[in-house]
Amino acid sequence: MRLRAAIARRAGGGRLVTVLNRRGAPGELPAADLMRTLGEPPEHALPYRPVPLAVAAGVGEPAFRHCRRFREAMERLGADIAGQPAAQDGLFRRWVRR
């Protein structure tokens, strides 16, 4: 039995969003094992970024101010949960990121 299907049955038909926290952390489950257990890939993944997150915690600021990758992942997750399309980066922002 797939873990996701079992949880969905318990949720009573509500929408189930799977979030992988700390993606890329040392000792992370291999992607194949995760897929086999869940039955499909997670919809969202929050990156493992210990240094920027520790800095944010140390200065008492939100983590998204110190880590672009974390901020973008949280924006996508928030938009999905709220049922809104994720904001797309403009041409200039994509060009600068290269």
- Could you tell me the two tokens for 33? 């094992």
pLDDT at site 1: 46
Instruction: List pLDDT tens digits, range 51-87.
Output: 988 998 899 998 888 888 889 999 999 999 888 876 6
73: Cβ contacts below 8 Å, ≥ 6 apart: 44, 45, 46, 47
Domain ranges of the chain: 1-48, 49-98
